[in-house]
Structure 1
Amino acid sequence: MKNYGLTVLAAICLLSSCTKNESIEDAILEQLIDENPASFKEIGSITIGAEGAAEISAYDAVSKKLFTVNNSDTNGIDVVDLSDPSNPKWIAKIDLTPFNGASNSVATYQGKLAVALEATSSKQDLGKVVVFDTANYSVIKEITVGALPDMVTFSPDGKWIMTANEGEPNSDYSVDPEGTVSIIDVANNYAVTTLNFSNFSSQLTTLKAGGFKISSPTNDFAKDIEPEYITIAADSKTAWVTLQENNGVAKVDLLAKKITAIFPLGYKDFSLAENAIDISDKDDQIVFNPWNVKGMFMPDAISSFEVNNVAYFVTANEGDAREYDNYVDVSRIGSSSVILDPVKFPNALALKDNAKMGRLNIVNKMGDTDGDGDIDELVSFGGRSFSIWNGTTGKMVFDSKNELDKKAHDFGTYDDKRSDDKGAEPEAVVVAKMGSKSILFVGLERTDNCMVYDVTNPNAPKYLQTLKTGDAPEGLLFIPASQSPNKRSLVVVSSEGDGTIKIYQPDRN
């Protein structure tokens, strides 16, 4: 170990905070490096292709390589030499065509690369995870998982690989696989356990009362669930999984290999001044006003952290509709198919104007509370925010209200053309430790930003800064100083709109 000049007492204090998955030197290094989380600046960039070329990235500290999903023109994983973060270099591509699958996600752990592949013959077929050696790209193992694995991750201790298997239907809804979660036991020859959600169908009434959404032509509970993204606790015992289209989060016991709870996420009230939104893309102005509409949070990405022995998870409340040939659950308020209740909306004609509420996309399968055929309650897609939730109870601790949209507007990047849909569209979230602080990074797909917050106090996050990213940031990756090639904390943003990867580094205090 290097001599960092620590006293014995200081070293003992650091060791007491060292997790099982950190080396002693890593724990000491993380505490010693005094960086300012409000001072991230771009230090490197590389473009690996056209649209769709840079979706999700994972970094391997063993080989100092970055692995990035590239579905722009070829089905493969781009490999980037990140030994010098200020000068990233493309060095190879892992061809995935022999595996009869298209990649959706990547994850790494100590020399292993896991790639989630949906079946190319039909994405309703079972998918797979292929594990590669990061040194020479040789195949270590192929594992069959559920249909359409949309996200893959290693547990912090490397014992588990998990996939969120979205199980989307085909275009006419004649085939709709169950949404599932797969748990792969790495040490047990990659044995896989795939879990569905059928055991929770008896709770549907209670879940719906809490804002959970089941809506499809068949109304089959297990098939209607669509897992999207996973986060695993630092102790590698618990996972939380976003069920985006269902407006919920599932909790998973990894040791028992069991889904233990579904948390319905409820609704956001956009009639409150603190939640005021810019609602129209046709009024030639950006103005944030309260409107009589609710939002389903419908999170995409999720990340977890712990403060004072309390587990939390944070969600990027993007929102997502279901649009298929035989089933569409989204309509604009101004469309003729949306009939507003004349008692609840006495000024319905004025509201349906495009410069008012007419352009807003709403859930057309909800809101008829009295069953008379018209809409009594307007429900839109997404919360236009990030939220922090208690990991044990699923109760909300904090919501950023309308701050993401307003900060993007102040920064000069808010896109008024997205006002009718999901605003800045929070897509990605990552919580990381920087010294003694918990720092949150939020990727905004439609404003091309990454916003940084201090969430050390989960009840009162503090805004730190806004970063300009590539076009349509999809993946956020934090590399701690102890694992970084230059021993400095790094944030890597992968943007699918322009196929660009950008690397950011903070200043020292």
Structure 2
Amino acid sequence: MKKRYFLVIALAALLNGCSDHDIPDNPTAENPSSFKEVAGVDLGGAAASEISAYDPQAKRLFTVNNESKALVDVLDLSAFPTITRLQPIDISALGGVANSVAVHNGMLAIALEGTNKQANGNVIVVNTSTLATIKQVPVGALPDMATFSPDGKYIVTADEGEPNADYTVDPKGSISIINVADNFSVKTLTFDALESSFAMLAQKDFRIFGPKASFAQDIEPEYVAVSSDSKKAFVTLQENNGIAEVDLIGGNILKIHPLGSKDISQLINAMDPSDKDGKVAFTTGPVKSLYLPDAISYFSVNGTDYLITANEGDAREYASFDEQARISSLKLEPTLFPNAANFQLPEKFGRLRVTKTLGDTDKDGDYDVLYGFGGRGFSIFNASSMQTVHQSDSRFEQKVVEAGIYDDDRSDDKGVEPEGVTVGWMGGKPIAFIAMERVDAIAIYDLSNPADPQFLQIVKTGEAPEGVLFIPADKSPNGKSLLVTSNEDDGTVKFFQTN
């Protein structure tokens, strides 16, 4: 009887579009609306807990810790919920800051930027049991995120290539593909060949705007999701407002998908633009907002592949170049903003931060269009066509308001800032976990119908969850699905399970 039960569950999962690596070996009935904190560990202060990865073989969690120097903390979860902190991996002598970790088949990949942040970085590959270094692989400048392909053949990094503080050195952003099977050979891809597409991309609010930066220098890859067949990668270009599609087999960047902007004049996109009105008040106005996604995740339902992005928003803010301005400080085109005096009041839209790099469409010195930062929610795309399947609109932040945790002090500046996102499978259903940096919480949604995600719950985390990790039941140390958040501001790692 037991064997037949699991056969039926596995068949149902396949019919629902799960790929082999999505289907748990031992599915259990769990309620994704009932996550609660079951354990936690304090790794230090700010920057002591950023991104985590889990190895089910060694039952160890690896967490990036940059509080004092570049370390990766090693947490033994074999007796979970008891957590034992082991000797950390010290990689400080090999470069600058550690930015990301990923695990596959007993290997830990650590993305490490150079001591000189504008120089090339490395991926350090470590054995998860012995902690011995297997390989050090050079990649592009400032590898900000690393991930394995599901089949383990590739490690893919998003090499952000940020400029220095005075914007005199701006390395090219790149994507590195490490072929694990071929002795960790690496191919680092830049965006030079796509420069001719910029005019078309700009029509949908793709941005190239850094001082004296070329197309390839200005692009800054942020986060990577790999398709379930391990043939493609999708890489967010956060500050540029796009997603790059990459052929992992051929080793080339296929295209850039521009993301457009959110129209705040539409009621469905209403937002709270002021931190000085003494209340949480969603309203509309003649403003657009660039999506500017950070994290991205890949999932499949009923044989169709999808991407979900956390639309955090991010502005370039350097010593010699800051693109931000408050609407109250800008000269607006009077025919397009006839009620500018009222509109620019601090309790209206005057406090909202927008970019100075877009909006003067006729180049006459005043602004015809205003562009804010971030979608304040999440987007879902068809991964084949890159057509938008769902936008969370203002509904995402409304759920935060209903939960009583909305921070009105952030209303003028990207709101709740959805930063991290991952999708895991529970009971044959794809469940999204979306980390919100500014309200210290995770929003959980059922993605069984990607066009109409169903809100399940909001869970409070540590301060500023940077990394969100889902460990399925069959890989969890205690046989139950496990949600892990790495919280940057208070240096904690929090663990959540259903009841």
Which TM bucket (shorter chain)?
Answer: over 0.9
What does 1:345-384 align with in structure 2 at a 5 Å threshold? 345-384=337-376
Q: Give 2:361's aligned amino acid.
A: T
Aligned: 1:504 with 2:496: yes
Label 1:359 to 1:482 Cα distance change in 2 as closer, same or farther (>3 A).
same
Query: Matches of 2:302 and 2:19 in 1, distance apart?
Result: 14
Aligned: 1:106 with 2:104: no
**2:3 aligned partner:** 5
1:14·1:28 contact (CA, 8 Å) conserved in 2?
Answer: no
**2:146 aligned partner:** 152
2:13·2:428 contact (CA, 8 Å) conserved in 1?
Answer: no
Shift of 1:84: 3.1
**1:40 aligned partner:** 35
> Runs of 5+ in structure 2 lacking a partner?
none
1:14·1:27 contact (CA, 8 Å) conserved in 2?
Answer: no
Label 1:15 to 1:289 Cα distance change in 2 as closer, same or farther (>3 A).
closer
**2:59 aligned partner:** 64
**2:280 aligned partner:** 286
Q: Give 2:405's aligned amino acid.
A: T
Between 1:401-410 and 1:194-203, the stretch displaced more is 401-410
**2:26 aligned partner:** 29
Residue 429 of structure 2 is aligned with which of 437, 447, 453?
A: 437
Shift of 1:20: 4.9
**1:117 aligned partner:** 112
1:179·1:196 contact (CA, 8 Å) conserved in 2?
Answer: yes
**1:246 aligned partner:** 240
2:170·2:213 contact (CA, 8 Å) conserved in 1?
Answer: no
Query: Matches of 1:330 and 1:339 in 2, distance apart?
Result: 14
Aligned: 1:185 with 2:179: yes
Query: Matches of 1:462 and 1:210 in 2, distance apart?
Result: 29
Q: How much is the aligned-residue C-alpha RMSD, in angstroms?
A: 1.7
Query: Matches of 1:61 and 1:204 in 2, distance apart?
Result: 44
Q: Give 1:252's aligned amino acid.
A: V
Query: Matches of 1:21 and 1:369 in 2, distance apart?
Result: 48
Q: Give 1:407's aligned amino acid.
A: K
Shift of 1:19: 4.3
Residue 301 of structure 1 is aligned with which of 295, 301, 313?
A: 295
Label 1:159 to 1:5 Cα distance change in 2 as closer, same or farther (>3 A).
same
Label 1:91 to 1:290 Cα distance change in 2 as closer, same or farther (>3 A).
same
Shift of 1:346: 1.5
Label 1:21 to 1:317 Cα distance change in 2 as closer, same or farther (>3 A).
closer
1:268·1:297 contact (CA, 8 Å) conserved in 2?
Answer: yes
Query: Matches of 1:141 and 1:216 in 2, distance apart?
Result: 35
Label 1:47 to 1:7 Cα distance change in 2 as closer, same or farther (>3 A).
closer
Residue 80 of structure 1 is aligned with which of 75, 89, 101?
A: 75
Shift of 1:86: 2.0
Q: Deviations 1:314-369 (Å, cap 9, x if unpaired)?
A: 0000111111222221111112xx11111111121222221111111101011011
Shift of 1:27: 4.2
The alignment partner of 2:210 has SS state of: coil
**2:129 aligned partner:** 135
**1:450 aligned partner:** 442
What does 1:389-400 align with in structure 2 at a 5 Å threshold? 389-400=381-392
1:112·1:131 contact (CA, 8 Å) conserved in 2?
Answer: yes
Query: Matches of 1:325 and 1:307 in 2, distance apart?
Result: 46
The alignment partner of 1:314 has SS state of: strand
Residue 258 of structure 2 is aligned with which of 261, 264, 273?
A: 264
Residue 474 of structure 2 is aligned with which of 477, 482, 489?
A: 482
> Runs of 5+ in structure 1 lacking a partner?
none
Between 1:354-363 and 1:145-154, the stretch displaced more is 354-363
Label 1:353 to 1:13 Cα distance change in 2 as closer, same or farther (>3 A).
closer
Label 1:256 to 1:497 Cα distance change in 2 as closer, same or farther (>3 A).
same
2:24·2:473 contact (CA, 8 Å) conserved in 1?
Answer: no
Shift of 1:283: 1.2
1:404·1:424 contact (CA, 8 Å) conserved in 2?
Answer: no
Query: Matches of 1:383 and 1:12 in 2, distance apart?
Result: 37
**1:233 aligned partner:** 227
2:24·2:472 contact (CA, 8 Å) conserved in 1?
Answer: no
Q: Deviations 1:73-122 (Å, cap 9, x if unpaired)?
A: 232011111123322221221111221232000011121110000111x1
TM-score normalised by the chain length of structure 2: 0.97
Query: Matches of 1:351 and 1:100 in 2, distance apart?
Result: 49
The alignment partner of 1:327 has SS state of: coil
**1:310 aligned partner:** 304
TM-score normalised by the chain length of structure 1: 0.95
Shift of 1:8: 9.4
Aligned: 1:52 with 2:47: yes
Q: Give 1:374's aligned amino acid.
A: D
Label 1:220 to 1:8 Cα distance change in 2 as closer, same or farther (>3 A).
closer
Residue 388 of structure 1 is aligned with which of 380, 385, 407?
A: 380
Shift of 1:21: 4.5
The alignment partner of 1:323 has SS state of: coil
Query: Matches of 2:12 and 2:403 in 1, distance apart?
Result: 39
Shift of 1:10: 3.7
Query: Matches of 1:68 and 1:93 in 2, distance apart?
Result: 9
2:6·2:26 contact (CA, 8 Å) conserved in 1?
Answer: no
1:76·1:93 contact (CA, 8 Å) conserved in 2?
Answer: yes
Shift of 1:235: 1.2
**2:205 aligned partner:** 211
Q: Deviations 1:203-248 (Å, cap 9, x if unpaired)?
A: 1110000111110112410111000000011111111000000000
The alignment partner of 1:5 has SS state of: helix
Q: Deviations 1:381-424 (Å, cap 9, x if unpaired)?
A: 00101000111222211011112221111112111110000111
